Amino acid sequence: SVLTDGGGSFTPLRRSSRSTNRPRVTIDASSPPMVNTLACVSECDLTFLHVFPYSARPGTSAAHFPELVMAEDKAARSRTLIDLGRSHAEAFRKGLVGTTRTVLWETRRSGPDISGWSGLTDNYVRVVTTSEGELRNTVTPAQLMNNTEDGLLRARVASMAVEGEGT
């Protein structure tokens, strides 16, 4: 598959070799110009960006680039992309509020103000619940309710008789 920015530049879409089958998009923030990169991220509504600047060190591809981007510009471009990705991810999570998703519960969370579980939805969104029951390595439907202060979604375990069912 191929993705275009509308101006004739093409970026290959690669499928992950893992079973998740999620597309990976490689975008160069220096060429085409950064504005095209931002437009591509916005148009595709990408919600997870792994942003890193190339380093022009011996043995790297960047060492052979004809035009190098100044360190300050690389840092600014990276921050801009990271902020855009975070904004898209937050909007995506907000759009899930009120829906029911399948969740794989992974880790018990505990602390002074925390008790419950953390898990991943079927579309890889981190959620938390306050269920006191044993959920490790179980898959349940969960109603997604609202964002926590740290950006996670609260979930209510649905259709399962779990002691202290989450809110």
Most trustworthy range by pLDDT among 12-16, 17-21, 37-41, 80-84: 80-84
CA separation for the pair 121, 59 (Å, rounded): 40
Task: Let me know: does 73 contact 122? Beta carbons within 8 Å.
Answer: no
Return the CA Rg of the chain: 20
CA separation for the pair 49, 83 (Å, rounded): 10
Cα angle 38-43-45, degrees, rounded to a multiple of 5? 95
Question: What's the whole-model pTM score?
Answer: 0.70
Q: What is the pLDDT of residues 67-97, one digit of tens each?
A: 777 888 888 888 999 999 999 999 999 999 9
